Structure 1
Amino acid sequence: MLYKINKKFIVKGKLTNEEKIKKKSNFLRGTIAKDINNEITGGFSNYNYSLIRFHGMYQQDNRDIRLERLKQKLEPKYSMMLRCRLPGGIISTKQWLSIDDFANRNTLYGSIRLTNRQTFQFHGILKYKLKSIHKILNKLGLDSLATANDVNRNVLCTSNPMESNIHMEVYQITKRISEHLLPKTNAYSEIWLDKEKIGTTEVEPILGNTYLPRKFKTTIVIPPYNDVDIHANDMNFIAIIYKERLIGFNLLIGGGLSIVYDNYSTWPSIAKEVGFLKTNDILRVAEAVITIQRDWGNRTNRQNAKTKYTLERVGLNNFKKEIEYRSGIKFDPIYPYKFIKRGDRFGWLKGIDNKWNLTLFIEQGRLIDKLNSPIKRGVAEIAKIHNGYFRLTANQNLIISSVQENNKLIIENIALKYGLLNFVTKQRKNSMACVSYPTCPLAMSEGERELSYFINRIEKILSKYGLENEYIIFRISGCSNGCARSLLAEIGLLGKSIDYYNMYIGGNRIGTRIPRIYLKNIYKKQIIFHIDDLINRWANERLYKENFGDFVIRVNIIKPVLNSPKDFW
């Protein structure tokens, strides 16, 4: 659909290099196909290095051995990370067995990682094996298109196993949004699936011929569980249920957590309420929001290109009016809603369809077989006998979904045998880290590999002060990006350099408040010392059942972040 674009809100200036790459890419093709056949290097050229992200892959190398290879005058040990598009996080057990087999045979690490974007990713795929995984995904009805770079990424959906009927309706809407907002270019099928090029002029009616100014994230949540962290995302739909029927959605926009250290023009932001829309209007509204960000987003400065900055620059009221103009619908006032908790509910839960759902805790989302903990194999064994689905959660866990009564005990015994039902503390269940070293090129400090170090010590401190039944929402990011959603935690760490972090405190349990910086560039052992002091005070001065994040604000240890653009720094 053509719109009369309000040019007043278009940012003028010199385009970034990324914008130039997209413009010259011939609808995301570049020279990727040529690079695949280049056997001299295990990587892609700088130009294609960026373009393959649109196809769902990141080029990485093992940073643990980078210097060693440099001394030997060898190029870095390149491999690719591939992230599947899996709207709503639902995958059949048949599909799972195929991806499990691929991980065993064709990756350097033999693991599958469940992400907090409600999908899975492979690490360590060599370049010459990329086509094979894309063809396997295609045969399974899956793909990795648009799971990275400047597009609408994997769409999240509440994993709630209780409201089975409502969940299925919302899940179908999630899939429709994902499909509707996908790139329309044939580049993916031509390059990775060897499909013939269609000799027509391509257009991108929604994303535009240079796609979006920056990455874009969408969620749908069913209250009262904020299990997808809606405030970390650009566009969010809160399902409104009345008399056990889905009647529509509240729209919230402009969430995002990434910052640039000491750059006051960047900040984290929680999503802002826009209005209520009817269920049938959701695709028109989603398209309107994303085309506004396409047209008004900043293409001259990637650090200020996300929707949160567009919203701050043009104003919520102007953005709302433009959504109504482009979608042709008028918003009603926001319907009341309430969140009571984040995270997942573990163990067996019965849905309203009288089928059972088993939520398994997967530490750091990493499915890999170790000597005394073959959990990846255990999940595959469950997939072999469960003719149904798995649900991947936005908290890196796995739900065995819709289990018949006669299969319940069989599945439970397999889970016990392979270490998938071990006792897990509340603190461990409510902690998260990004991948970080050794594969993430942006990492400044450890994430996943240091999470247990911090959890073990926090648990000891909680026990020391009689709070062993309590927990703190705790998250680590290896840099200042938002991958582990650390800036929605009660205690969040952002990596500065090896073993050093910025420490933020004061978020809340339901994920609606951003924490404030407490200490800068602090060594990990000192962080534990300060956490000990804070928990000591919490134990002795808290109100009845007062959560840690609320406590540190009430007693003025830290001030709440009330207006993030002006107040965060």
Structure 2
Amino acid sequence: MIQRDCDLSQPVETLHDNEQLKARSRQLRGTIADGLEDTLTGAMPGEDPLLMKFHGIYQQDDRDQRAARRRRHLEPVYQFMVRLRIPGGLLTKRQWWGIDALSRRYAERGIRITTRQTVQLHGVRKRALRGLMQDLRDIGLDTIAACGDDSRGVVCGANPFLSRAHRRVAELARVTSDQLIPRTRAYPEIWYQEEGDRKDDEEPLYGALYLPRKFKVGYALPPVNDIDVYGQDLGLIAVVNDGELRGFNVCVGGGMGQLDNRDDSYPRLAQEIGFIDADDAPNFSETVMSIQRDFGDRKDRHRARFKYTLDRLGLPWFLEELASRWGRPLAPARPQRFDHNGDRLGWHRGDDGLWHATLYIESGRIDDPLRARISGLLEQYGGRLRLTTNQNLQLTHIEDHERESLQWRLDDLDLSWRLAPNTQAAHTLSCVALPTCGLAMAEAERYTPRLLDLFQRLKGQYGLTGVPISLRLTGCPNGCARPYLGEIALTGRAPGLYNLYLGGSFHGDRLALLHACNVDEARFLELLAPLLEQFARHRHDDEHFGDFLLRRQLLADRPVSLTYSS
């Protein structure tokens, strides 16, 4: 464990306002406890909404009603999004039932599986927050560090019950998550109303200012890059020989978010820098994160992510600093390759003979009818569940004798179609966007069904219906649905208008390029049609759309590679 007090070389008053807020927050307490008791407003006062992000909570309002409420001189319909911390996305059946019940009791928009392998509950009112947090504790879950300037929930690829190696990687992801969360007593004090000794209220890893921005850690298991490992601040790529986990290739500096109005803001792919032993992964993650803590930009918040720290100070500097803190240089990276970055829907069997079934969930949204069917299914199914980074749901631990009866039950509940592999929907991601996200400039989740229908019809015109193409849709330039890794991506600019990106890799190892700005639906289809026509006529066997665009030089410039630098 790295021990460090956050002794800044410059006065806190010279730093970004968010840094000053953290410094005076009393380890993330602020006045949150008092604000929860204020019944005159549905909002939290002052700066507390920023601090609540560290507790896994975003204050939002229903933007569909905002203008009408303003005209009537009413405050917005304030509500909160609560994001759970679920390392690796693993849940017991009891925990799923608990989430189901809590979503009915407290949330107004059901359950949403996120691209970071967890659950968000939308539409929670302020008066219900503390009750929700206590009920989550009772089923063994929490929300600490699901948001905020800290280590976000650690993601883990593929199914941990496919093999011994998968199980080991999933366990390391859980240990890493537990090791990197903040230690402040503010969380149990505010939400569980537990009194504690303030002497224990120290942050040996984070210090008084926590991190400059969020820090994302992900574990991937080749050949499936389902977590988009090159989009993580720290990616750990499993190296498996003869069924045993040998260690991890390490990649650093990925990040999807950008601002369209700043030239010095951009998505970036992580770079492979070496190999570590498997058991070292949690401590190594802490070491890398500590470098970002100490050297990340705390004045310009838009340049505070780890990718900018690496580009500003240089990879040679980072490797030297890492070797100094880690105590030795890294071993060379070992050979590995990816061939896929979506989920493999349908039935699959692990090396222990147990089956798992991956069900497609559109945009991760589980509404009332689907929620009821899934909970009903679990009444006759004795296994466990896993959420995926592609917003889908896996049923795991299925015995041979259970598979047939479970398939019948899936048929009865009209869930079997969600097992169908190789559908375009299975390769499409979207963020929440409107009406709740405060950053959204255009629709995403609510527009996805129409976009998918139009895209499938267009593909069908050229005989490409069964050809998977990764498609990403976000309501703003931020990277919640990892748009810049898609073969096709739309990022919101204004209602009905998007920037169009093309040429990412189906394997998730190449960024897309900006192809056109401010396109509407008609222009999107107009631009895409001739490219799909050429793809249908001239593609090689098993060639993916993004690779085809690159080979045929149909993009303005060559997309940046894994050795990207600013």
Same fold per superposition (TM over 0.5)? yes
Contact 1:506–1:514, Cα closer than 8 Å, also in 2? yes
**What residue is the counterpart of 2:405 in the other structure?**
410
**What residue is the counterpart of 1:221 in the other structure?**
220
**What residue is the counterpart of 1:300 in the other structure?**
299
Q: CA deviation at 1:416?
A: 2.2
**What residue is the counterpart of 1:551 in the other structure?**
548
Contact 1:106–1:129, Cα closer than 8 Å, also in 2? yes
**What residue is the counterpart of 1:289 in the other structure?**
288
- AA paired with 2:410? A
Aligned length: 562
Matched, 1:63 2:58: no
Q: Deviations over 1:115-135 (max 9, x none)?
A: 110011100111111111111
Q: Tell me which of 497, 505, 526 is aligned to 1:529.
A: 526
**What residue is the counterpart of 1:490 in the other structure?**
487
Matched, 1:16 2:11: no
Q: Structure 1 residues 161 and 181, CA, compared in 2 at 3 Å: closer, same or farther?
A: closer
Contact 1:259–1:266, Cα closer than 8 Å, also in 2? yes
Contact 2:298–2:304, Cα closer than 8 Å, also in 1? yes
CA distance in 2, matches of 1:68, 1:243: 63
Contact 2:6–2:207, Cα closer than 8 Å, also in 1? no
Q: Residues 119-198 of structure 1: matches in 2 within 5 Å?
A: 119-160=118-159, 163-198=162-197
- AA paired with 1:65? Q
CA distance in 2, matches of 1:68, 1:126: 20
3-state SS, counterpart of residue 531 of structure 1: helix
Contact 2:79–2:126, Cα closer than 8 Å, also in 1? yes
Matched, 1:231 2:230: yes
**What residue is the counterpart of 2:375 in the other structure?**
380
Q: Structure 1 residues 519 and 13, CA, compared in 2 at 3 Å: closer, same or farther?
A: farther
Q: Structure 1 residues 137 and 411, CA, compared in 2 at 3 Å: closer, same or farther?
A: same
- AA paired with 1:387? G
CA distance in 1, matches of 2:161, 2:15: 48
Q: CA deviation at 1:160?
A: 2.9
Q: Deviations over 1:511-564 (max 9, x none)?
A: 000011110011122111211222112112223332111111122211222269
**What residue is the counterpart of 1:363 in the other structure?**
362
Q: Structure 1 residues 379 and 480, CA, compared in 2 at 3 Å: closer, same or farther?
A: same
**What residue is the counterpart of 2:500 in the other structure?**
503
Q: Tell me which of 538, 542, 560 is aligned to 1:562.
A: 560
Q: Residues 235-274 of structure 1: matches in 2 within 5 Å?
A: 235-274=234-273
Task: Name the stretch that deviates more: 533-542 or 190-199.
Answer: 533-542
Q: Structure 1 residues 329 and 138, CA, compared in 2 at 3 Å: closer, same or farther?
A: farther
CA distance in 2, matches of 1:166, 1:63: 45
TM-score, normalising length: structure 1: 0.95
Q: Percent identity?
A: 36
CA distance in 1, matches of 2:415, 2:262: 43
Task: Name the stretch that deviates more: 194-203 or 346-355.
Answer: 194-203
Contact 2:4–2:207, Cα closer than 8 Å, also in 1? no
CA distance in 2, matches of 1:418, 1:525: 37
Q: CA deviation at 1:14?
A: 2.9
3-state SS, counterpart of residue 540 of structure 1: helix
3-state SS, counterpart of residue 298 of structure 2: coil
Q: CA deviation at 1:386?
A: 2.5
CA distance in 2, matches of 1:67, 1:142: 37
- AA paired with 2:400? E
Q: Residues 67-82 of structure 1: matches in 2 within 5 Å?
A: 67-82=67-82
Contact 2:345–2:359, Cα closer than 8 Å, also in 1? yes
3-state SS, counterpart of residue 446 of structure 2: helix
Task: Name the stretch that deviates more: 20-29 or 461-470.
Answer: 461-470
**What residue is the counterpart of 1:454 in the other structure?**
451
- AA paired with 1:519? A
Contact 2:153–2:216, Cα closer than 8 Å, also in 1? yes
Q: Structure 1 residues 7 and 210, CA, compared in 2 at 3 Å: closer, same or farther?
A: closer
Q: CA deviation at 1:328?
A: 2.1
Q: Tell me which of 463, 467, 477 is aligned to 1:466.
A: 463
Q: CA deviation at 1:7?
A: 9.8
**C-alpha RMSD of matched pairs (Å):** 2.1
CA distance in 2, matches of 1:345, 1:339: 14
Q: CA deviation at 1:137?
A: 1.2
Task: Name the stretch that deviates more: 327-336 or 74-83.
Answer: 327-336
Q: Structure 1 residues 385 and 329, CA, compared in 2 at 3 Å: closer, same or farther?
A: farther
Q: Structure 1 residues 282 and 162, CA, compared in 2 at 3 Å: closer, same or farther?
A: closer
Q: CA deviation at 1:457?
A: 1.1
Q: CA deviation at 1:325?
A: 1.5
TM-score, normalising length: structure 2: 0.96
Contact 1:454–1:528, Cα closer than 8 Å, also in 2? no
- AA paired with 2:321? E
Q: Structure 1 residues 149 and 377, CA, compared in 2 at 3 Å: closer, same or farther?
A: same
**What residue is the counterpart of 2:441 in the other structure?**
444
Task: Name the stretch that deviates more: 22-31 or 463-472.
Answer: 463-472
Matched, 1:478 2:475: yes
Matched, 1:428 2:425: yes
Q: CA deviation at 1:418?
A: 2.5
3-state SS, counterpart of residue 46 of structure 1: coil
Q: Give structure 1 stretches of 5+ with no counterpart.
A: none
3-state SS, counterpart of residue 550 of structure 2: helix
- AA paired with 1:36? L
**What residue is the counterpart of 1:93 in the other structure?**
93
Matched, 1:31 2:27: no
CA distance in 2, matches of 1:139, 1:438: 31
**What residue is the counterpart of 2:103 in the other structure?**
103
- AA paired with 1:80? F
Q: Structure 1 residues 354 and 564, CA, compared in 2 at 3 Å: closer, same or farther?
A: closer
Q: CA deviation at 1:411?
A: 2.3
Q: CA deviation at 1:53?
A: 0.5
Q: Structure 1 residues 567 and 528, CA, compared in 2 at 3 Å: closer, same or farther?
A: farther
Q: CA deviation at 1:3?
A: 6.9
3-state SS, counterpart of residue 199 of structure 2: coil
Q: Structure 1 residues 162 and 133, CA, compared in 2 at 3 Å: closer, same or farther?
A: closer
Q: Tell me which of 378, 390, 393 is aligned to 1:395.
A: 390
Task: Name the stretch that deviates more: 468-477 or 539-548.
Answer: 539-548
Q: Give structure 2 stretches of 5+ with no counterpart.
A: none
Contact 1:281–1:329, Cα closer than 8 Å, also in 2? no
CA distance in 1, matches of 2:208, 2:445: 37
Contact 1:161–1:349, Cα closer than 8 Å, also in 2? no
Contact 2:151–2:215, Cα closer than 8 Å, also in 1? yes
Task: Name the stretch that deviates more: 10-19 or 242-251.
Answer: 10-19
Contact 1:57–1:148, Cα closer than 8 Å, also in 2? yes
- AA paired with 1:502? N
Q: CA deviation at 1:334?
A: 0.4
Q: Structure 1 residues 140 and 566, CA, compared in 2 at 3 Å: closer, same or farther?
A: closer
Q: Deviations over 1:457-478 (max 9, x none)?
A: 1111111111122121111010
Contact 1:208–1:294, Cα closer than 8 Å, also in 2? no
CA distance in 1, matches of 2:445, 2:316: 40
Task: Name the stretch that deviates more: 169-178 or 323-332.
Answer: 323-332
Q: Deviations over 1:261-292 (max 9, x none)?
A: 13111111000111111122222211110110
Q: CA deviation at 1:382?
A: 2.3
3-state SS, counterpart of residue 14 of structure 2: coil
Contact 2:217–2:232, Cα closer than 8 Å, also in 1? yes
Q: CA deviation at 1:105?
A: 2.1
Q: CA deviation at 1:72?
A: 1.0
Contact 2:212–2:298, Cα closer than 8 Å, also in 1? yes
